[in-house]
Amino acid sequence: MKLVLVLFAYLLGSLPWSVWIGRIFYGVDIRDYGSGNAGATNTMRVLGTKPGLAVLILDALKGFAAVKLAFLFPAYAGDIELMVVLGVCAVIGHIFPVFGNFKGGKGIATLLGMIIAIHSGAALMAIATFIIFFLSFRIVSLSSILAALSFPVWLIFRYHEHSKILVLFAFAMVFLVLITHQKNIERLLNGKERKISLRKNDD
């Protein structure tokens, strides 16, 4: 049964909302424009704030729903290890979506939904960290990286988390975010990373 849940979690993560919204409502493949990523940030840059926020919410729900699959069966409810595995499978599905020719996004929104489902307290603190830096600099990549870096800090020092699996995942998440944002980090260091204006393309 766990293997079935793992497969379903991957399929949930593979739902390419940005691609579908771009094609259905705007007649474009979001992966052909901007950064080429099938995610909320690129959708916001190319199509506008409203579709970008829609994709953000839908992609986050993928991670949240994947984790909650464990609660469909009483024997698995509260199984942190399984919940982490299911969430990771959803993130992998987002990055390599079977429904999107294995060309997806960076998985940040899906990762966000995952950590909200597993540990809402530390997740909300990480979200607050993102908001503070985003409002200060209007750079999504920088805000995402700093929010990810803050998650294990909040988890350990604010909430005193005892689950070794969850703590290890938190550090693995930081590593994943740094790896998927290598190009962004290079542009940040060179002062070339683009900022987002919330007033642009709002219609």
- Which residue ranges make up each domain of the chain? 2-189
Could you tell me which residues come within 8 angstroms of residue 154 by beta carbon, excluding any fewer than 6 positions away?
121, 122, 125, 126
pLDDT tens digits, 104-162: 999 999 999 999 999 999 999 999 999 999 999 999 999 999 999 999 999 999 999 99
pLDDT tops 90 at residue 28: yes
Average confidence (pLDDT) over 96-107: 94
The Cβ of residue 117 has, within 10 Å, a number of other Cβ atoms equal to: 24
pLDDT at 201: 46
Mean pLDDT of 88-107: 95
Which pLDDT band holds residue 82 (cuts at 50, 70, 90)?
very high
Share of the chain above pLDDT 90, in %: 91
The answer, yes or no, to whether residue 199 has pLDDT greater than 80, is: no
Average pLDDT across the chain, whole number: 93
Residues making up the chain, counted from first to last = 203
Distance from the first to the final alpha carbon of the chain: 45
pLDDT band at 18 (very low <50, low <70, confident <90, very high): very high
Instruction: Please tell me the predicted confidence (pLDDT) of residue 31.
Output: 95
Helix (H, G, I), strand (E, B) or coil at 142: helix
pLDDT surpasses 90 at 50: yes
